[in-house]
Amino acid sequence: MNTDTLIIYAFVAFFYIISPGPAILLAIYNGAVNGSKVVMVSALGNIIGLMFLSILSISGLSAILLTSSTLFAIVKIVGAFYLIYLGVRQLFSSNKASNKKLELNNNRSLSSYFKEGLLVAATNPKPILFFVALFPQFLDTSYSILPQFVIMTVIFMAFSFLSLSGYGYLAQKAKGLLSNINNMKWFHRISGALFVGMGTSILFIKNES
């Protein structure tokens, strides 16, 4: 892969990554409610999930998923319902709010946030479509394929981690707006509804193969 091709790939990957999606919404939510440490742990889980999907792409299993309507449907349904579950959980969190200082998820371990970030990435069929559709476009068959996959995956993971951390940081800076209990309730309701909406939209992703 030459330098020009790598730059174009980085440009495409960057704008794909910073576009709103489930992982970014989760980072914003965690930044506003749980702080930067949780954001980074969840982001780490997310990029590990992306690495898993990239390995699927390299091994050809993602191509099998795309050619098998049944397998693709299973991945899609699992991912959709997990996002819906996250949304419903947040909607219920808004109902538990009281007039006291709001403290949410303070009994959760960091590993649970890591798993949450990983599952959001690994059960999302959109990255599978991205890896399968775009990775081959940037491969140079005159060079060894595996190192090119590794380079593209590392770039994608690095951009993802920085993007999620950045969104989470900005959300944390706006945390003062959520000190009011009513604002926090509405934040949970809106973010919960967005998660449910994203989960529902995944159900309508079509396997074009």
Instruction: Going residue by residue through the chain, which has 209 residues, state the pLDDT in tens, using 9 for 90 and above.
Output: 778 888 888 988 898 888 878 898 899 989 988 888 999 999 999 999 999 988 887 787 667 777 777 877 887 788 788 888 888 877 776 665 544 444 444 567 889 999 999 999 988 877 877 787 777 778 777 788 788 888 999 999 999 999 999 999 988 887 766 566 676 677 778 878 887 887 788 777 666 55
pTM of the shown model = 0.76
Return d(Cα 121, Cα 48) in angstroms, integer. Answer: 8
Quote the pLDDT of residue 51: 92
Quote the pLDDT of residue 130: 79
DSSP secondary-structure letter at 179? S
Closest CA to 184 of 95, 68, 60: 95
Quote the pLDDT of residue 106: 56
DSSP secondary-structure letter at 100? S
Quote the pLDDT of residue 17: 87
Quote the pLDDT of residue 62: 67
Measure the CA dihedral 179/185/191/195, to 10°: 140
What token pair was written down for 157? Answer: 């993971």
